[in-house]
Amino acid sequence: MKYAISPQIRAVHFPPISEVREWAASYFATPEQPLVDLCQAVPDYPPAPELVSYLRRVVDDPLTARYSPDEGLPEVREALSARYARRYGGAVPPGAFCLTVGASQAFWLAMVTLCVAGDEVVVPLPAYFDHPMALEVLGIRPVYLPYDEVTGGLPSVSDLESLLTPRTRAILLVTPSNPTGVVAPPELIRDLLELARRRGVALVLDETYADFIPGRPHDLFMDRGWGDNFIQIISFGKTYSLTGYRAGALVGSEEFIHQALKAQDSMAVCQPRITQQAVRYGAEHLEPWVEANRGSMALRHDRFREEFLAAGNRFRLVTSGAFFAWVRHPFSGVSGREVARRLAQESGLLCLPGEVFGPGLTHYLRLAFGNIRQEFIPEAVERFRKFPV
């Protein structure tokens, strides 16, 4: 008798980026008409040369092949604590960090530490697709706040509060948003923390793209009791262009991290040492490099908006920012999945359909303009203009 696959995991959507890449396989790319990858959000530039040189030396150290403590090397967490003091203006002790295999693992750690099967997490739409996928695999119910195009998807505190039940364990927010690029203002984030405190739940912020916005993202870490109700998910893979190194972190109270290490030890043991050393080097030496890339990405965003908003484009730009553009396609009664499939197969444009970001979003597409160089943006946008409707 053949083994059985869990019905729970069968019900979860197949990884969307893998699905889009399968569609693209039938596109005949040429040097004049190459594939344009607006699908997976990956910086198109390499890591800083000085970081690469440093890592060559790290590889020669025999310790690099060894385990580290589950939570990460003390010197790496100390470097991150100092970086957070500069970036967020608050005291985040080294013990508040658990280094993880990307932000996705940090999210899993947070959820399995907070929740059991049958619990609920409130998720504003559109939602980063990996989050509902993980919740569904774990048997945790995502409770969706419907998308409001007028507000750009920024949630109302009162609307979120109306969704809380005795089974709610967390409110989840991604800022800057993946997929819309919208940045939650610090005042809203503060109000959401106050809601979490009032109702005895966690506010979980995924700030994977926070280093691509200027200024302080919020002031929560300046609050003496921030760890009682606040948990941060962070990625340094985008910050330092190390996506393949899987450089993430879970940030919470020291008690929360202590409990999360039970899952960390059984899940990954530790973040690879070479990744930890890359993060440490970045935190201690690469702030000017990060700032320069932040400025470059802002220029890329401005160029993209200028091109996309010019007359004659039937795809409508709804919101944009950081790495992403959230676009409404012009086809009535046609799913975003079908439009994205046609764009891949007929025009060599890879993007994600809106429905992978939650229910009721079939009119939308996500474009990751951060993937392509500024000089190639006009050509990419021109393919949308020429796409037959």
Q: Tens digit of pLDDT for each residue in 146-184?
A: 999 999 999 999 999 999 999 999 999 999 999 999 999
Q: Which CATH superfamily is domain 7-44+289-386 in?
A: Aspartate Aminotransferase, domain 1 (3.90.1150.10)
Alpha carbons 256 and 270: distance in angstroms, whole number: 17
Judge whether residue 381 has pLDDT over 80.
yes
User: H/E/C letters for each residue in 62-126?
Assistant: HHHHCCCCCCCCHHHHHHHHHHHHHHHCCCCCHHHEEEEEHHHHHHHHHHHHHCCCCCEEEEECC
Alpha carbons 71 and 343: distance in angstroms, whole number: 43
| Average confidence (pLDDT) over 237-260 | 96
Alpha carbons 307 and 381: distance in angstroms, whole number: 7
H helix or E strand, kind and range, residue 183:
none
pTM: 0.93
pLDDT value, residue 24: 80
pLDDT value, residue 22: 86
pLDDT, one tens digit per residue, over 233-242 is 999 999 999 9
The answer to whether the CB of 115 falls within 8 A of the CB of 138 is: yes
pLDDT value, residue 363: 96
Alpha carbons 275 and 95: distance in angstroms, whole number: 19
| Average confidence (pLDDT) over 292-306 | 93
Alpha helices by DSSP H, the chain: 7-10, 16-24, 49-59, 74-88, 102-114, 130-138, 157-162, 186-199, 254-267, 273-285, 287-309, 336-347, 377-386
Judge whether residue 356 has pLDDT over 90.
yes
Question: Phi, psi at residue 282, to the nearest 5°?
Answer: -60, -45
The answer to whether the CB of 312 falls within 8 A of the CB of 167 is: no
**How would you list the strands of the sheet with 247-251, edge to edge?**
97-101, 247-251, 230-235, 202-206, 168-174, 120-124, 141-145
pLDDT value, residue 387: 87
pLDDT, one tens digit per residue, over 212-230 is 999 999 999 999 899 999 9
DSSP state of 169: E
pLDDT value, residue 373: 84
pLDDT, one tens digit per residue, over 79-129 is 999 999 999 998 899 999 999 999 999 999 999 999 999 999 999 999 999
Q: How confident is the model at residue 323 (pLDDT cuts 50, 70, 90)?
A: confident
Distances (CA, A) of 125 to 174, 226, 241, 355, 367: 10, 25, 27, 10, 17
Token code pair at residue 246: 């899987």
* Residue 319, CB-side half-sphere exposure with 13 Å CA sphere: 21
The dihedral region occupied by 322, where left means phi > 0, alpha psi between -120 and 50, and beta the remainder, is left
Alpha carbons 67 and 199: distance in angstroms, whole number: 40
Domain pair 7-44+289-386 / 49-286, same fold: no
Beta strand 247-251 with 97-101: parallel, antiparallel or unpaired? antiparallel
Which amino acid is it at 324? F
Cβ-Cβ contacts under 8 Å for 153 (sequence gap 6 or more) = 124, 125, 126, 147, 177, 180, 182, 319
The answer to whether the CB of 253 falls within 8 A of the CB of 228 is: yes
Q: Which of the two residues, 375 and 277, has the higher pLDDT score?
A: 277
User: What mean pLDDT is reported for the chain?
Assistant: 94
Judge whether residue 35 has pLDDT over 90.
no
pLDDT value, residue 193: 97
Alpha carbons 207 and 178: distance in angstroms, whole number: 10
Q: How do the domains of the chain map onto residue ranges?
A: 7-44+289-386, 49-286
Domain 49-286, architecture per CATH: 3-Layer(aba) Sandwich (3.40)
Alpha carbons 26 and 344: distance in angstroms, whole number: 8
Which amino acid is it at 349? L
